[in-house]
A and B are shown apart, each in its own frame.
Chain A
Amino acid sequence: MDYKTQLVIVAVIMLLVGIAAGYAVKPSAPQSAPNTTTTAQGQQSKLPNVIVIGGLFPLSGDLQTFGQQNSLALQLAASDINSFFNSSGLPYQVKVVIEDTQTNPDVALQKLQSLYSQGVKFVAGPMASSEVKNIMGFANSNHILIFSPSSTSPALAIPNDFIFRLVVDDRLQGTALAQLAKYYGLKHVVVVWRGDDWGDNLANSTLSNLAALGIDAIRGPRYSVQVSDYTSEVNQLASTVSSLVNKYGASSVGVILVSFEEGVQFMDQASQYQTLSNVRWIGTDGIAKSGKLIGDPVASAFAVKTNFTATISGTLPNPKYDNLTKRFVAQLGTEPISYAYNTYDIAWLLTLSILTAGEYNPDKVAKILPTVASDFYGVTGWAQLNENGDRAFANYFIYGVANVQNQYQWTYVGMYDTATNAFTFK
């Protein structure tokens, strides 16, 4: 290919891309009128007959199982909403368009752009805070309303933006954990945590809440999420705990383990240290009700010996919740994580807000969504949002491990209500 031909090809490609960009930069023409609907009162509604809600979930990658559960939750919600429209004689239908973010922030942005180019302006998801962080700028600039069921990073608690989260941020669980330590009479608490976004935020929140309650909060080892051997970290923890026990006695010393299910391996290794078996351990929602823990006899025995209890946010029993659980079990063969229930409520909240606004318009919906949420009681309970557009309150259930007839199982211990700052024990 000679030089001139190459130049022509360059010119043509740059011209095409330039035309695309230039055409886009020119002032926009007035928006075309959407399909309108005539209401029973004879008024013209600006709402299209088909309300499209996007879904950004990790259908592959590290959080694949959770993504599939949330995807199903969104589809079940759409089915229920459409049944409601049919039975009410309303001329609307909800359509969901689900994309796979692969638990990758870069892919999440590409998929959001893809949804936006299809005209989707309301999105349930993404799940990970890193994904929300990467799409936030694009969503805010283009007025796309994002409603995450599971992003808990306090760094994303920002008022007056287009990012909403139907989950409390990690600061509330930090409060719950610190209050629990105080309730158990602990005076010196070592916090051990996994080194990722969730772990860092929850550990920092727990440490600051412990300190605020007058408890000696000690930063223990922060372990890498990419390793499965915790010999060094457990040894370091044992050394710290040993010196505290020698000084203050075992009854006033405790360990808070901020982990996912890798905490089972951590407890396995910790069980080899007598000092660590003599103090109380507290866990988080990453390990609460873990089947892996009660399936591991060494870790379970250690949990019983250390009076291990773990907190997890949840919903007070209600018929809606039970009914949805049955449908999940029928389709998946197992109960989903709590975030899937949030996704179900997100679909209802978005639809009700769009209906209330009377337009498929994120600017209007973002303004009225907190009001709609404050009057909404879904499968996850009261959906009150705070000034940052995040769920304001949650109940944290406390579970412990018990040996019942030679079988380890999780047992309900009590509940912590963040709205009233009170414990209720069984």
Chain B
Amino acid sequence: MPLESFQLLLTIASMTFIYLIVVTSLNLEAGFLGLPNFGKMLAVISGALFTAWFSPRMGVLLYNLAHPGSQIYVTDYVVQSNSIVTTLNPWLAGSPFSAALLFLITISLSSLVGGLIGLISVIPSVRLREDYLGITLLAMAETARVIGYNYEPIAGGTSGVQIPDPFFGFGDSRYLYYVAILAPISAAVFLLYRRMQNSPFGRALKSIRENEDAASSLGKDIVKSRAVTIFIGSATAALAGSLYAYYTLGVIATAYDRFSWTFWPWVMMMLGGMGTNLGPLVGAFTFVTARTLIYTYKQMLSSFLPFNVVWLDYLLLSLSIIFILLIKPNGLIKERPLIFFKVIERKGDASKEKA
């Protein structure tokens, strides 16, 4: 069967996995801690920009292309972006170990750098009230995009750059295998977050969200909790940014806008259910599936409509979301006070024992 027959499934799977990572991190910040991170894009674009900057350099270092006698003599990573990639890709295809090393080190460092940038971005504002903090993060995210678009040495500025493809060896099946690699990464992130959110740390975040003063009186350090959460959330979202860069095989700052990487993740989180473990998965899967199906099958309605079906994209998507939120205003998965239920159960058990 031709590959394009699977493209619908692949698109849904790949974008679900990438968005799951972003939404999971946003859910920790906004759903559990109550921190309105309107600058989620900051971490995503940081990861992508670092990948664009680091990946070709590491590839050149591994293949030893930075001397006059090499196959190409690399002196400018932006101007020579195309020739670097076309030289490195066949070599990576024949050197699986180097390809794996390049991929793993790049996504790991991108994640670390994203976490640090997230941390730095909240230093001036971490003591502010949530709404001010949210606006500050929004401004920080826009600043990162403007820098990425105008400062050429990072990611080619307005022209963007290509990045070496560690999966080039898979040939025509490249995207299939990439999705197969995305699956365990996003599953690992999801399960780690689930474990963290069910731990005392996760409960402490919820207590801060509900009442900062009460949490503080019980010894919870609000500023430290916010900083740690932002670091973890940003590192995770930067990982998604790096993975998306490897998905598209090129980075240009305009591909990372607040609509795609802040607004849509918020919609997914609210759709799935804020502050729940399962919400991000349900939200990301539902949203991406709905969007992909609408994009793909709206043409079938063309004969019934008096206007161009391309206008249906946002219309149907918005209606789908409004419909779901009308039926489930708290999202598809509702947050429940689990600890409170345990107390009730214990009382019930005690009364049974008395009886």
Contacts and interface: CB of A to CB of B under 8 A. Distances in A.
Given A9-B282, A14-B187, A133-B160, A106 B257 contact: yes
Size class of the B contact interface (CB-based, 8 Å): 35 or more
Given A117-B7, A117-B8, A134-B248, A20 B13 contact: yes
B158 A196 contact: yes
A85 interface: no
A76 to B, nearest CB: 15
Interface string A82-113: 00000000000000011110001111011101
Contacts of A17: 12-13, 16-17, 183, 285
A28 B1 contact: yes
Contacts of A130: 158, 160, 252, 254-255
B313 A100 contact: yes
A141 B295 contact: no
B318 interface: no
B11 A104 contact: no
Interface in B202-249: 247-249
- Do most interface residues of chain A lie in helix, strand or loop, or is the interface mixed? helix
B1 A98 contact: no
B183 A18 contact: yes
A243 interface: no
Contact of A155 (B12, B82, B86, B247): B82
B172 A143 contact: yes
B87 to A, nearest CB: 13
B3 A137 contact: no
Interface string A17-34: 110111111001101100
Interface in B158-177: 158-160, 162, 165, 172-177
- Do most interface residues of chain B lie in helix, strand or loop, or is the interface mixed? helix
Contacts of A98: 308, 310
A106 B260 contact: yes
A31 B1 CA distance: 5
A20 B248 contact: no
B142 to A, nearest CB: 11
Contact of A6 (B15, B82, B174, B278): B278
Interface in B251-283: 252, 254-257, 259-260, 277-278, 281-282
B6 A141 contact: no
B4 to A, nearest CB: 5
A59 B17 contact: no
A204 B17 CA distance: 40
B59 interface: no
Contacts of A28: 1-3
A154 to B, nearest CB: 8
A100 B310 contact: yes
B17 to A, nearest CB: 7
Contacts of B98: none
A40 B223 CA distance: 80
A58 to B, nearest CB: 11
A10 B334 CA distance: 15
B66 interface: no
Contacts of A201: 158-159
A142 interface: yes
Contact of A138 (B81, B175, B252): B175
A85 to B, nearest CB: 22
A296 interface: no
A206 interface: no
Nearest to A199: B158
Contacts of B281: 10, 13-14
Contacts of A23: 6, 9
B119 interface: no
A153 interface: yes
Contacts of A155: 81-82, 156, 159-160
A195 interface: yes
Interface of B: 1-13, 15-17, 81-82, 86, 150, 156-160, 162, 165, 172-177, 179-180, 183, 187, 190, 247-250, 252, 254-257, 259-260, 277-278, 281-282, 285, 291-292, 295-296, 299, 308, 310-311, 313, 333-334, 336
Given A110-B11, A200-B157, 8 more contacts: A20-B12, A28-B2, A31-B2, A113-B11, A117-B4, A118-B296, A133-B159, A134-B252
6 contacts: A6-B333, A24-B176, A28-B2, A98-B308, A133-B250, A196-B158
Closest 8 CB pairs of A and B: A137-B249, A117-B7, A20-B9, A24-B6, A197-B158, A105-B255, A114-B295, A155-B159
Interface of A: 1, 6, 9-10, 13-14, 17-18, 20-25, 28-29, 31-32, 59, 97-100, 104-107, 109-111, 113-114, 116-119, 121, 129-130, 133-138, 141-143, 153, 155, 158, 195-197, 199-201
